[in-house]
A and B are shown apart, each in its own frame.
Chain A
Amino acid sequence: MLKIKKTKLNEFIDFLNRDYSVYAPVEHGKKTTFKKIETALEIDHSAYNTSKSAKEVFFPQAEVMFKYSKEGLKVPERNEKPFAIWAIRNCDAKSLKMLDSVFGDARQHPGKDYFKDPYWKQKYDNCLVFNLACNEPLSTCFCHWFDGNPFDKTGSDVFVVETADHYIMEDISDKGKKFIDSYDKAEKADDNDVKVIDELKATAESYLGDKIDTKPLFDKLKKIWDEPVWDEVSAKCINCGACTFVCPTCHCFDVDDEGKDGKGSRIRLWDSCMFQLFTKEASGHNPRGVAVQRVRQRIMHKYNYFRDNYQVDLCTGCGRCVSVCPVNLDIREVIKKVLEY
């Protein structure tokens, strides 16, 4: 374990910047989101969590897949440096792993390049994840419902804890170790630092709300697919896409062409199962035309369908959907209702 003084973070980020494109929380119009940075001065550490998740670094809301013109098709070239992501919370770091199981490989055709997503891979493969421990979880946080913890290290290459005047760094992966070892300006962390981390962790955990056992959710959902509980659960949903767009794990997308006169781009865009248009077919037929079907789809995908395919729930309990929902449709309440039903 190493540590660097907070005041020396700029040196560290400069060093990181040499071999990586560095992304970190940056303030953008009163909200904090992940953006590419050049110096540590741009980083905004004040936010408990970013308003949008870190998925947009690797899977942007709109991404040009190729440009077309009379000369043919051209895939945009990308900056050669691998990505590094600084100060990502564990809920997001874990979500990247989940997204990687979808985009980085293929469920039905494991290992086959044809089914891998090149746009995701070129950004996520070889990226370095600096997971910043969550010293102060919010009332919306529920990572502990899904095997998480504010100090969980899964999904990180380097685990970082912010103390009063230091960042203490622990290498988790080989990649992380290699990088940390190459930085010679860090101090060694000592026993006292370990003690401080334990204290911070205990405090953070004390902020979390009640824990719910979500293990029975999978079977329960399978059983109640047809039950009227969904009408009750979805009654207040207004079917906007806010929850899915801020979600670190939602990954459904649309493909759309933009351009005119034979010149333009094919773009992929985040889409939302909350939108009526998501499943509407050209014939007018819509397999999920009613609001209740769409709310059910979102819950089922997260806590049943995804687990069926990838043995994990598609939710890290980051709580963003809870905090942005305009009608306070709290997914935790839905989970409780389903479990009690």
Chain B
Amino acid sequence: MCNNTYIPIPMKVEKILSENPDGSLRTFDLSFVNEEDKFDYMPGQFCEFSILGKGESPFGIASSPTEEGILKFTVNRTGSVTNEIHYLNVGDIVGIRGPLGNWYPLEKLKGKDVVIIGGGFAFTTLRSMLIYMLENRKDYGDITVIYGARNPDLLIYKEELAEWDKRDDLTLHLTIDTPVEGWAKHTGFVPTITKEVSPDPSAWAIVCGPPIMIKFTLPVLKELGFDDTRIYTSLERRMKCGIGKCGRCGIGSKYVCIDGPVFSFEELKSIPDAF
């Protein structure tokens, strides 16, 4: 029998970090239990996170390939699987299948300016890419990050955001939807801030966030002069098998799990029900 992709590999929970005060967002660092299970991956790929007895859910890998030995996932508590993931303790063993899907066009981005635009907890694979680019800093031009959430609590990776803010080799624009006392950064929706920041349209844009954010950011980028072939996003669907069989993540003739999750807007234009 050929190797069975449906069998998850065991991974151990090394660290759990609550990302916000209400505990609805948690980040899990996992380590490989068996040396032979170790796999390489690229920023933008995802894994099926398995809780035996509950099932599997797909999550983008939030760690960067440069962070060796661990896989990082940030999980929003919404359904039965994510609920169970939130009950995990350090030392627990979970199942992981992956890496699945394609990745951000890192080769194409080489030598180019990059604008990363993110919203809410969809910043996961963007973190992976950002860390990867910072580790290979000389390969890329200017890096601009625009990241927003409803309120400061809902921004994830707060410690790292503070560190990135201090760096002079990237420009970070943080924003929240409505004003909050003590908030010194931008206030306003991501599309509005993108317009304000007005990144140079010669750059490549990577946009990830709730569908509504993407929907309104896209016209802004187009107005600024960004070409559809240079705007990328990552789609979310209910992937189950992750290998192009089960049909659940179909959008038009594409399957998000094997043709994506990363798509350029040029590709998405011809797909009828992408959004």
Contact = CB atoms under 8 A, between A and B. Distances in A.
A65 B55 CA distance: 12
Interface string A281-313: 111010110000100010011001110110000
A266 interface: yes
B5 A115 contact: yes
B245 interface: yes
Contacts of B21: none
Contact of B240 (A109, A253, A280): A253
B6 A273 contact: no
A279 to B, nearest CB: 6
A282 B82 contact: yes
A207 interface: no
A235 interface: no
B201 interface: no
B55 A256 contact: yes
Contact of B247 (A66, A106, A260, A273): A273
Interface string A3-15: 0000000000000
Contact count band on A = 35 or more
A121 B79 contact: no
Given A108-B258, A283-B78, A118 B4 contact: yes
Nearest to B77: A282
Contacts of A236: none
B258 A262 contact: no
B253 A118 contact: no
A114 B100 CA distance: 10
A150 to B, nearest CB: 29
Given A253-B241, A257-B54, A118 B247 contact: no
B247 A251 contact: yes
Contacts of B3: 113-114, 118
Given A66-B6, A226-B272, A279-B238, A301 B245 contact: no
Contacts of B78: 282-283
A241 interface: no
B6 A65 contact: yes
Interface string A237-257: 000000000000001111111
A47 interface: no
Contacts of A300: 252
Contacts of B236: 281
A75 B4 contact: yes
B180 interface: no
Contacts, number: 118
A260 B52 CA distance: 10
A106 B2 CA distance: 13
Contacts of A66: 6-7
B246 A308 contact: no
Interface string A87-129: 0000000000000001100111100011111110110000000
A182 to B, nearest CB: 26
B170 to A, nearest CB: 31
Contacts of A280: 238
A253 B6 CA distance: 13
A255 B247 contact: no
B55 A106 contact: no
Contacts of A145: none
A107 B4 contact: no
Contact of B248 (A278, A283, A285): A278
B158 to A, nearest CB: 23
B68 interface: no
Interface string B233-266: 0001110110111111011110000110000000
B273 interface: yes
A61 to B, nearest CB: 14
A257 B250 CA distance: 23
Residue among B7, B82, B248, B253 with most chain A CB within 10 A: B253
Given A118-B4, A225-B272, A273-B247, A255 B56 contact: yes
B250 A305 contact: yes
Nearest to B80: A282
Residue among A65, A114, A225, A264 with most chain B CB within 10 A: A114
B162 interface: no
B1 A122 contact: yes
Contact of B52 (A264, A304, A305, A309): A264
Nearest to A310: B253
B6 A118 contact: yes
Contacts of A281: 236-238
Interface string B169-188: 00000000000000000000
A259 interface: yes
A305 B3 CA distance: 28
A254 B53 contact: no
A254 B240 contact: yes
Contacts of A282: 57, 78-79, 81-82
A146 interface: no
Contacts of B6: 65-66, 118-119, 255, 266
Given A66-B7, A73-B7, A264-B52, 5 more contacts: A114-B5, A281-B236, A282-B57, A301-B247, A308-B253
Interface of A: 65-66, 68, 73, 75, 102-103, 106-109, 113-119, 121-122, 225-226, 251-257, 259-260, 262, 264, 266, 268, 271, 273, 278-283, 285, 287-288, 293, 297, 300-301, 304-306, 308-309
15 contacts: A73-B7, A103-B245, A108-B244, A114-B5, A116-B2, A116-B5, A121-B2, A257-B53, A262-B53, A281-B236, A282-B78, A300-B252, A304-B253, A308-B253, A309-B253
Interface of B: 1-8, 52-57, 78-79, 81-82, 211, 236-238, 240-241, 243-248, 250-253, 258-259, 272-273
